[in-house]
A and B are shown apart, each in its own frame.
Chain A
Amino acid sequence: MPSGALVLLILRVLRPGPLHGYAIAQRIHLLSSEVLRVEEGSLYPALQKILLKGWVVAEWGVSETNRQVRFYRLTPAGKKQLEAELAEYSRTSEAIQAVLKGA
């Protein structure tokens, strides 16, 4: 999975509400009908990058197993970024579809 796409997926699954790192991986896994598996080796570096960009902020919360853990929440800048990336993605994928069908 290209790293740009991973960022898009993370931002998308965070839109309904804050999640912790493991839950993000789980959500992506579930929503993709268990096709996409996000390894921790790519998840956490990507999360750091998103933190740096200011698209999410980390907050302490309590996990379902009653453990203190960091939750990631989308910031207004992150929402804007998500919209922009979604628009860009659909434009690109339509274009690709068009080429694939037409060829």
Chain B
Amino acid sequence: MREFIRRIGYLLRLRQHDRELANELDFHREMAAREGRDNLGNRLRLREESREAWGWTWLDRLGQDVRYAARLLAKSPGFTLTAVLMLALGIGVNVAAFGFFNLMVFSQLPVRDPDSLLSFQRRAPRGYASDLPYPAMAFYREHSRTLSAVLAMHSAGLIAENEEKPIRASFVTANTFLELDAPMNLGRPLEPRHDDADAAAVVVLSHGFWTRHFGANRSVIGQVIRLNRQSATIIGVASPDFGGLTMSAADVWLPIARQPDFIPGSALLTSFSDAATGVQMWGRMRPGMTPKIVEDELAQLASDLRKLHPNDVWEKERLASEPGGYLKMSGGGQRGSGTPESASQRLRPVFVLIGSLALLILAVACGNLGSLLLARGVAREREISIRAAVGAGQGRLVRQLFTESLLLAMAGSLAGLGLGAVVLRALLLWTDSPAWLDATPDWRVTLFAVTAGALAALLFGLTPALQVARQRHRSTRVRQVLIGAQVAASCVLLIVAGLLVRGLQHATSMDPGFEYQQVISISPSLADHGFNATQSRTYLESLMAQLRAEPGVTSVSLVSTAPLSNRREVMRVRIDDRKMDVHVNRVDPDFFETMKIQVLRGRAMAMGEKAVVISESLARFQWPGQDPLGKPFDEKRPIVGIARSARAGALSDPDAGEVYLPIDEGDWPEMQLIAKSAGPVETALPRIAALAKGLDAQVFPQVQTLKASFRRKLESTERSAAAVSLLGLTALLLASLGLVGLVSYAVSQRTKEIGIRLALGARPLHVMASVLRQFSWPVMAGLLAGVGGAAGLSQLLRGELYGISGLDPAVYVIAIALFLGVAILAALWPARRALRIDPLRALRYE
């Protein structure tokens, strides 16, 4: 250790040490000369040898190498620029992909002490739910000793004046702003007193809504805004850095105690029923508490609560916690049986897919870098043999060449970091992410970029360096492997892009198994307005009667989940050992007619009948080779019909199964309506909307066409298809550039040979073939590997392809043809030069 400190001390006083040593040696010589002894040793060498003892020689050499490399790179700006750009592309794409996941996974919410926040979810053997009833939340809040604060949120769409669509409102416990230390842009935040029973209705606007709706007018504070025809006084505008605790940002925040004012009849604050919508809950741990202690306490409280409300608290219910200080991808309203997939499980395939695609781009870029370095090394043959002749060892030469590629890699990393940040910023804008997410690379991303660059230099700089230094560059093996790898990687990218594009094409032209062009959905959210089953039934039946009377409406029916909506109800069906998560819908007998979902065998269940209809896909999976008709679905209900598969719940997933349950008495407040019109839906929509809104002034139904929902569903696939296509084309471009470089290098290397052959009367076509032959097998091998890789990767995509097979032959054929076409052009263009070689000049050349 001390030795190390002395070493560092030496390094810091390097010049002084050097001078002292020189002085000492001079003195030694003077003395020796006085005694008549001559010393002819090399002084410089002696000084260097003495310095070596300190172990810093490598630094000297590195400095030399870096200076030398920088000089050389500056002398051939064309090469340097190409190499750096190539690397920047490869690394940039990866930085953007990695940066995105880094943000999603690691970015803590910009709130006070995010580490002590937990978010909770109801769990029990019978199922899970992301929401819990408000009074249950209040019970936990009152009795918990391990939590210092409890936050709750309930989202709702509210109708605002001059806004076409309902705005997103977050009803939050009024402690939220102060507890999270939410930064304000203007005015004051919500305060706990706003939850008092007699408090006036106040609202805090999000920065985005304030800008959009009020043109960022600073005098809005104190103004009144009307939401669902109720007034609320604007007391503040949140800073753009505050987006609440969820990924989807709210437009306005209102105190949760005022929720019934805006949703007339709402029983949110009083109902323990787990059928009604509830709140998402967060808690802040007291200092010294761990999530485990909190969970244990809450489980105990849950069993206490169950004694008071045995029907509404599940058996063995507990609250499972997750770290609450991070971005939460999923919103509320998710429930189901079994255990939920965690966010990381759900996202893993996406991570793997994007990660592999990005790495493939890097591989192609590195392949190009490798061939560039190799070709350059050969061009520098003379320089290198001179250096070897004046005594540079092989190790030193390798080090020199390697330093050069390291320098390139570092420049490429930096450029890639910049490029990646720009791409990431665009990506964040594009995906409508919270404004506070910062695309500027943090230490993780920087480390990632530098490591990627260093690895690229190591893998693709070392081999050419070794080859060149050993002066064995005539071997073509390395070049062939490089081109093969590039072909494989760009092939995978092209095929995956092709699959996504074709899936999208298919989605827009396919039959999703149900009618969506002519259908309008009406969702009155009666449960939110506190309607009980009888009231809901009366409301829905009179609305249905009115709709049926409307000219042009051919069919109306009830559903619990409108097709293509964001609501999801999933049930795990387990028969023998086969588990399947199926989409559940509660429907009336007319549903199959309205949605044009054919009942293939059996029949639809009658109203109130205890029977179910299952989809063909579910029948195939759970009763393979058997006839499920008449078999019991569960203890109480037999299967009476098999309907055509309709991917209404999961449009893109061909494996999705559906089960249609009858409407129970208790389901009425949750029901929605769908209506099919004979004419164009666009003209029917306003009339139907007016009808639905006119029925009860207290209810604010959302009316939309299924076409619009369908388009929204396709948007995310459109985005990924566009992104992957861009990646694929980038890879194709890179690979063909690489091929151009390699072929022209091969031609220039064989100029003399070609000249001789032409002089001896060889046919030009033969000559060209002989030049290109060495590239044919690596290209073929690369193609094969690429097809295999793509086939493997496409299995991950299965749920996103709208029923297109991951092995769709058309996609493969087109992608390969496209690739081969471009590759052949890229090879022929430089190969033409071989034909224009003048034999006489070629022979005279050396």
Cβ-based interface call for B551 (8 A): no
Given the known interface contacts A20-B27, A65-B31, the answer about A44 and B2 at a Cβ–Cβ threshold of 8 Å is no
Given the known interface contacts A44-B21, A70-B20, the answer about A22 and B32 at a Cβ–Cβ threshold of 8 Å is yes
Output the nearest chain B residue to A70 by Cβ-Cβ distance. Answer: B24
Closest CB in chain B relative to A57 CB, distance in Å:
10
Closest CB in chain B relative to A83 CB, distance in Å:
19
**Interface pair B51/A40, CB less than 8 Å apart:** no
Interface positions, chain A 32-54, Cβ under 8 Å from B, are 39-41, 44-49, 51-54
Residues of A within 8 A of B795 (CB): none
Cβ-based interface call for B665 (8 A): no
**Interface pair A69/B23, CB less than 8 Å apart:** yes
Interface size class of A (residues with CB under 8 A): 20 to 34
**Interface pair A22/B27, CB less than 8 Å apart:** yes
Interface size class of B (residues with CB under 8 A): 20 to 34
Tell me the complex Cα distance, A20–B2, Å: 24
**Interface pair A67/B3, CB less than 8 Å apart:** no
Cβ-based interface call for B223 (8 A): no
Output the nearest chain B residue to A48 by Cβ-Cβ distance. Answer: B53
Residues of A within 8 A of B27 (CB): 20-22, 63, 67, 69
Tell me the complex Cα distance, A65–B49, Å: 27
**Interface pair B31/A45, CB less than 8 Å apart:** no
Cβ-based interface call for B6 (8 A): yes
Q: What 1/0 flags go to B25-43 for Cβ under 8 Å of A?
A: 1011111101000010100
Output the nearest chain B residue to A60 by Cβ-Cβ distance. Answer: B20
Closest CB in chain B relative to A61 CB, distance in Å:
11
Closest CB in chain A relative to B55 CB, distance in Å:
8
Tell me the complex Cα distance, A51–B32, Å: 23
Closest CB in chain B relative to A52 CB, distance in Å:
6
**Interface pair A45/B23, CB less than 8 Å apart:** no
Residues of B within 8 A of A45 (CB): 49-50, 52-53
Question: Which of B7, B20, B23, B41 makes the CB contact (< 8 A) with A52?
Answer: B7
**Interface pair B28/A21, CB less than 8 Å apart:** yes
Residues of A within 8 A of B52 (CB): 45, 48
Tell me the complex Cα distance, A45–B25, Å: 11
Given the known interface contacts A40-B39, A52-B6, the answer about A21 and B50 at a Cβ–Cβ threshold of 8 Å is no
Output the nearest chain A residue to B48 by Cβ-Cβ distance. Answer: A45
Closest CB in chain A relative to B114 CB, distance in Å:
49
Question: Which of A22, A41, A46, A54 makes the CB contact (< 8 A) with B46?
Answer: A41
Closest CB in chain B relative to A76 CB, distance in Å:
13
Closest CB in chain B relative to A65 CB, distance in Å:
7
Cβ-based interface call for B829 (8 A): no
Output the nearest chain B residue to A43 by Cβ-Cβ distance. Answer: B28
**Interface pair A54/B3, CB less than 8 Å apart:** yes
Residues of B within 8 A of A44 (CB): 21, 24-25, 46, 49-50
Output the nearest chain A residue to B47 by Cβ-Cβ distance. Answer: A44
**Interface pair A41/B41, CB less than 8 Å apart:** yes
Closest CB in chain B relative to A25 CB, distance in Å:
8
**Interface pair A48/B51, CB less than 8 Å apart:** yes
**Interface pair B54/A22, CB less than 8 Å apart:** no
Interface positions, chain A 44-93, Cβ under 8 Å from B, are 44-49, 51-54, 58, 63, 65, 67-70
Output the nearest chain B residue to A25 by Cβ-Cβ distance. Answer: B28
Closest CB in chain A relative to B93 CB, distance in Å:
47
Tell me the complex Cα distance, A45–B54, Å: 9
Closest CB in chain B relative to A29 CB, distance in Å:
10
- Most chain A beta-carbon contacts within 10 A, residue among B10, B21, B39, B51: B21
Tell me the complex Cα distance, A65–B53, Å: 29
Q: What 1/0 flags go to A14-26 for Cβ under 8 Å of B?
A: 0000001110010
**Interface pair A48/B46, CB less than 8 Å apart:** no
**Interface pair A54/B6, CB less than 8 Å apart:** yes
Tell me the complex Cα distance, A67–B29, Å: 13
**Interface pair A48/B50, CB less than 8 Å apart:** yes
**Interface pair A22/B28, CB less than 8 Å apart:** yes
Residues of B within 8 A of A48 (CB): 50-54
Residues of B within 8 A of A41 (CB): 41, 46, 49
Residues of B within 8 A of A39 (CB): 41
Residues of A within 8 A of B41 (CB): 39-41
Tell me the complex Cα distance, A53–B54, Å: 10
Output the nearest chain A residue to B32 by Cβ-Cβ distance. Answer: A22
**Interface pair B31/A22, CB less than 8 Å apart:** yes
Residues of A within 8 A of B30 (CB): 65, 67
Interface positions, chain B 743-769, Cβ under 8 Å from A, are none
Tell me the complex Cα distance, A44–B46, Å: 8
Closest CB in chain A relative to B205 CB, distance in Å:
68
Tell me the complex Cα distance, A3–B24, Å: 21
- Most chain A beta-carbon contacts within 10 A, residue among B23, B41, B53: B53
**Interface pair A69/B24, CB less than 8 Å apart:** yes
Q: What 1/0 flags go to B43-77 for Cβ under 8 Å of A?
A: 00010011111110000000000000000000000
**Interface pair A52/B50, CB less than 8 Å apart:** no
Interface positions, chain B 209-253, Cβ under 8 Å from A, are none
Output the nearest chain A residue to B46 by Cβ-Cβ distance. Answer: A41
**Interface pair A21/B7, CB less than 8 Å apart:** no
Tell me the complex Cα distance, A25–B54, Å: 22
**Interface pair B53/A40, CB less than 8 Å apart:** no
Tell me the complex Cα distance, A33–B138, Å: 100
Closest CB in chain A relative to B307 CB, distance in Å:
76
Tell me the complex Cα distance, A21–B3, Å: 22
Tell me the complex Cα distance, A45–B51, Å: 7
Tell me the complex Cα distance, A18–B57, Å: 29
Closest CB in chain A relative to B26 CB, distance in Å:
9
**Interface pair B53/A54, CB less than 8 Å apart:** no
Residues of A within 8 A of B6 (CB): 51-52, 54
Tell me the complex Cα distance, A20–B6, Å: 21
Tell me the complex Cα distance, A25–B31, Å: 11
Tell me the complex Cα distance, A65–B7, Å: 32
Residues of B within 8 A of A25 (CB): 28
Residues of B within 8 A of A46 (CB): 53
**Interface pair A21/B24, CB less than 8 Å apart:** yes
Tell me the complex Cα distance, A96–B427, Å: 78
Tell me the complex Cα distance, A49–B7, Å: 11
Output the nearest chain A residue to B37 by Cβ-Cβ distance. Answer: A37
**Interface pair B2/A54, CB less than 8 Å apart:** yes
Closest CB in chain B relative to A63 CB, distance in Å:
7
Tell me the complex Cα distance, A48–B30, Å: 21
Closest CB in chain B relative to A18 CB, distance in Å:
14
Tell me the complex Cα distance, A58–B6, Å: 13
Residues of B within 8 A of A40 (CB): 25, 28-29, 32, 39, 41, 46
Interface positions, chain B 1-17, Cβ under 8 Å from A, are 2-3, 6-7, 10
Tell me the complex Cα distance, A45–B10, Å: 15
Residues of B within 8 A of A63 (CB): 27, 31
Output the nearest chain A residue to B21 by Cβ-Cβ distance. Answer: A44
Closest CB in chain B relative to A22 CB, distance in Å:
4
Output the nearest chain B residue to A68 by Cβ-Cβ distance. Answer: B23
Tell me the complex Cα distance, A47–B50, Å: 8
Residues of A within 8 A of B23 (CB): 68-70
Residues of A within 8 A of B31 (CB): 22, 63, 65
Residues of A within 8 A of B3 (CB): 52-54
- Most chain B beta-carbon contacts within 10 A, residue among A40, A47, A53: A40
Output the nearest chain A residue to B31 by Cβ-Cβ distance. Answer: A22
- What are some 16 contacts across the A-B interface (CB < 8 A)? A21-B24, A22-B28, A22-B32, A41-B41, A44-B24, A44-B25, A44-B50, A45-B52, A52-B3, A52-B10, A52-B55, A54-B6, A63-B27, A65-B30, A68-B23, A69-B27
Q: Which 3 A-B pairs rank lowest in CB-CB distance, beginning with the nearest?
A: A48-B53, A49-B53, A44-B50
Q: Which residues of B contact A (CB under 8 A)?
A: 2-3, 6-7, 10, 20-21, 23-25, 27-32, 34, 39, 41, 46, 49-55
- A22-B31, A40-B41 provided; 11 other pairs, C-beta below 8 A? A20-B27, A21-B24, A40-B46, A44-B49, A45-B53, A48-B51, A52-B6, A52-B10, A52-B53, A54-B6, A58-B20
